[in-house]
């Protein structure tokens, strides 16, 4: 039986905008978050506290966090790669803090080096004090495992390697793991095999899927995860996204496409599809292009 309710985390403001060539003003990022929460999103990945030399688009992280009009019941998360990032995220008074931080590792050594400039083992050593300090401060910690299906530098990645990283993350106290198909080449059975390894170590409610739609497989992969009972997915409004360190990685699966699928299956999301499509039109307008989403384009063409 498929889950009756699914939680979607909109990662558009972070994963979506981190790779944009053109600058996006902080006020537009803030408005994007506000529109997402008005559309019913209850989990939003707002920004990342990473090195501005590595990802200049996220250099306005503090400004964006400070500009949020927070809504009760919404969980705001940010990426942090190290203690410096966590300290910066916790710089303002407590009501300016994120509710959740995301440490991000990889199931591929080459990608770990390219993305965060260290090996997998070193990344875990680096994350351990971040996890401890965040939890001590009462902040939930999610772990993202990039390249869980394949790596742009190393090729196919086996479920064994995914499980190794899952166990390492569990060992340092990460409370939730996200299995990420960074370059969007996964297909349903392979995705299930990777997910099953995460589910060996984490409960259903603490495993999520993060799919890029590069090869058009994301919705099929989400359906395959639903079959396993997984009920939390990252998605990105208007299909924004890509990773600066994964050449050829196009956008995340569009939130509105996932919502259309889920509602069609009778699965609740709490999201208003029309408001979400308006949000996709808004952010696409800011970027001067059409949404990369079948549903947004179909609805907007009516
Ligand atoms: P490094 O160069 O090895 O770090 O980078 P370092 O400790 O040697 O520091 C170098 C400089 O960066 C220093 O400044 C530090 O102060 C500064 P300098 O002395 O040269 O002026 N620095 C920082 N500044 C601000 N915030 C920080 C920070 N840390 C160091 N937190 C580092 C290592 C991890 C910092 C770097 O590699 C980095 O920032 N990487 C982030 C890459 C990234 O954001 N990638 C995209 C997100 S992951 C993703 O999109 C995948 C995902 O969506 C899932 C999927 O799809 O697979 C999650
Ligand atoms: Mg991503």
Residue 252 Cα to ligand 2 middle (Å)? 6
Q: Is 284 in the pocket of ligand 1 (CB under 6 A)?
A: no
**Contact in structure between 224 and 183 (CB atoms under 8 Å):** no
In angstroms, the CA 91 to CA 70 distance is: 17
In angstroms, the CA 136 to CA 132 distance is: 6
**Contact in structure between 280 and 238 (CB atoms under 8 Å):** yes
In angstroms, the CA 44 to CA 73 distance is: 11
**Contact in structure between 257 and 10 (CB atoms under 8 Å):** no
In angstroms, the CA 178 to CA 281 distance is: 28
Q: Is 50 in the pocket of ligand 1 (CB under 6 A)?
A: yes
pLDDT of res. 245 = 74
Q: Is 235 in the pocket of ligand 1 (CB under 6 A)?
A: no
pLDDT of res. 281 = 97
pLDDT of res. 248 = 66
Residues designated as active site: 243
Q: Is 107 in the pocket of ligand 1 (CB under 6 A)?
A: no
**Contact in structure between 79 and 49 (CB atoms under 8 Å):** yes
Neighbours of ion ligand 2 (CB under 5 A): 15
CA distances from 177 to 103, 173, 180, 256 (A): 10, 11, 9, 23
Mutate to test the pocket of ligand 1, among 14, 15, 50 (most ligand atoms within 8 A of CB): 50
pLDDT of res. 247 = 73
Name the residue with the closest Cα to ligand 1, atom 29. 51
Angle between helices 255-264 and 218-227 (to 10 degrees): 40
pLDDT in tens, the chain (302 residues): 999 999 999 999 999 999 898 899 999 999 999 999 999 999 999 999 999 999 999 999 999 999 999 999 999 999 999 999 999 999 999 999 999 999 999 999 999 999 999 999 999 999 999 999 999 999 999 999 999 999 999 999 999 999 999 999 999 999 999 999 999 999 999 999 999 999 999 999 999 999 999 999 999 999 999 999 999 999 999 999 876 677 766 789 999 999 999 999 999 999 999 999 999 999 999 999 888 899 999 999 98
């Amino acid at each position: 039986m498929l889950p009756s309710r699914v939680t979607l985390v909109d990662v558009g403001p972070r994963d979506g905008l981190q790779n944009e060539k053109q600058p996006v003003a902080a006020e537009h990022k803030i408005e994007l978050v506000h529109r997402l929460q008005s559309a019913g999103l209850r989990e939003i990945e707002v920004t990342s506290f990473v090195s501005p030399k590595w990802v200049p688009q996220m250099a306005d992280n503090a400004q964006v966090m400070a500009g949020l009009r927070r809504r009760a019941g919404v969980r705001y998360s940010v990426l942090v790669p190290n203690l410096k990032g966590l300290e910066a995220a916790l710089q303002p008074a407590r009501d300016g803090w994120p509710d959740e931080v995301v440490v991000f590792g990889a199931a591929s050594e080459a990608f770990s080096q390219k993305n965060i400039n260290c090996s997998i083992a070193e990344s875990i050593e680096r994350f351990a004090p971040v996890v401890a300090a965040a939890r001590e401060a009462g902040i939930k910690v999610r772990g993202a495992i990039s390249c869980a299906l394949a790596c742009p530098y190393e090729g196919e990645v086996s479920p064994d390697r995914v499980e190794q990283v899952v166990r390492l993350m569990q060992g340092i106290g990460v409370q939730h793991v996200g299995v990420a198909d960074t370059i969007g080449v996964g297909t349903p059975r392979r995705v299930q095999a990777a997910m099953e390894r995460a589910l060996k170590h984490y409960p259903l409610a603490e495993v999520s899927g993060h799919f890029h739609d590069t090869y058009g497989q994301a919705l099929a992969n989400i359906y395959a995860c639903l079959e396993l009972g997984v009920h939390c997915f990252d998605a990105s409004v208007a299909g924004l996204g890509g990773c600066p360190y994964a050449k050829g990685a196009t956008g995340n699966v569009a939130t509105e496409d996932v919502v259309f699928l889920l509602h069609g299956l009778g699965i609740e999301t709490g999201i208003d599809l029309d408001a979400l499509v308006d949000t996709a039109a808004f952010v696409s307008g800011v970027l001067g292009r059409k949404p990369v989403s079948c549903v947004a384009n179909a609805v907007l063409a009516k």
